Chain A
Amino acid sequence: MKVLALIYGDESAWESLSDEDRQGVYARYRAFGEQADGKVANGAEIAPTSAATTVRVRDGETQVTDGPAVELDEPLGGFYLLEVGSLDEAAEVAAHIPGAASGAVELRAASEEEAP
């Protein structure tokens, strides 16, 4: 089954890291990717919420606003698409994502319905 792992964390903490510290975090993510080999189908770092745009349509009118749909203390900063046997296995894999130790990882299984 496919499980989307959404990585939430404190953006300002990330932005205040030195280049060296960031390289350290990237190295831990690379190590996770190698360790989880075969269970990670996709994944990416997401640009900060300052680069987010939210679109709504109300009464036929398109509203485009800067920023995320919902302001969170720990916004979404990255994701992995996991290919695993169960949600329990996804949780085991997710515990090794570096972001789980500083923020949180939300696991959302793909719907069994055919994607729209």
Chain B
Amino acid sequence: MKYLLLLNNDRRAVDSWRDLSPDEAAALRAEEMPRWNTLFGWIGEQGIEVDGLELEEPNKARVVRVRDGETLVSDGPFAETKEQLGGYFLADCKDLDQAIELAQRVPLVGTGSVEIRPLVE
């Protein structure tokens, strides 16, 4: 069963990253890396096929709508929300329980959230 896992950051965390210098951002990233590596190790042990990407911050998003044949493009995310999408996993899990197991091991789940969405196959 394939699941889309939406990795949501707390908005305050995203805002605070914006003020970091490149060096500070790199240091924060290096600090978080072992936790992500632990997750990837677990994923490997479980034999779960996972694909995913980290996304540019929501401020750099664009929204496209077509109304009456006209294309309207606006800057910024689709919705201004307390939690903001920062990346995703596409995971082929045995069942929802395994997807939840995976979700609770994602480092940002302690401050943000992971939304699990089954795909229509």
Residue numbers in B under 8 Å from A104 (CB-CB) = 63-65, 78
Do residues B56 and A110 form an inter-chain contact, with CB atoms below 8 A? Answer: yes
A4 touches B119 (CB 8 A): no
Name the contact of B119 in the complex, choosing from A47, A53, A103 (C-beta under 8 A): A47
Contact indicator per residue, chain A 41-67, by CB within 8 Å of chain B (1) or not (0)? 010111100011111111000101000
Determine whether the beta carbon of B54 is less than 8 Å from that of A46: no
Q: Enumerate chain B residues within 8 angstroms of A6, measured Cβ to Cβ.
A: 78, 85
Which applies to chain B's interface (DSSP): helix, strand, loop or mixed?
strand
- A69 to B8, Cβ gap below 8 A? yes
Contact of B117 with A47 in the complex, beta carbons under 8 Å: yes
> A30 an interface residue at 8 Å Cβ cutoff?
no
Find out whether the CB atom of B4 lies under 8 angstroms from the CB atom of A107.
no
List chain A residues, Cβ under 8 A from B4: 44, 46, 79
Task: Flag if A115 contacts B54 (CB, 8 Å).
Answer: yes
- How many chain B residues touch A (CB < 8 A): the figure is 53
- CA of A54 to CA of B15, assembled, Å: 23
Please tell me if the beta carbons of A45 and B54 are within 8 angstroms of each other in the complex: no
B48 at the interface (CB under 8 A from A): no
Q: Any chain A CB within 8 A of the CB of B33? A: yes
Are the CB atoms of A57 and B60 closer together than 8 Å?
A: no
List B residues at the A interface (Cβ < 8 Å). Answer: 2, 4, 6, 8, 29, 32-33, 36, 51-56, 58, 60-67, 71, 73, 77-79, 81-83, 85, 87-88, 90, 96, 99-100, 103-104, 107, 109-110, 112-121
Q: Known pairs A52-B116, A110-B53, A110-B56; list 4 more (Cβ under 8 Å).
A: A47-B117, A105-B65, A115-B53, A116-B107
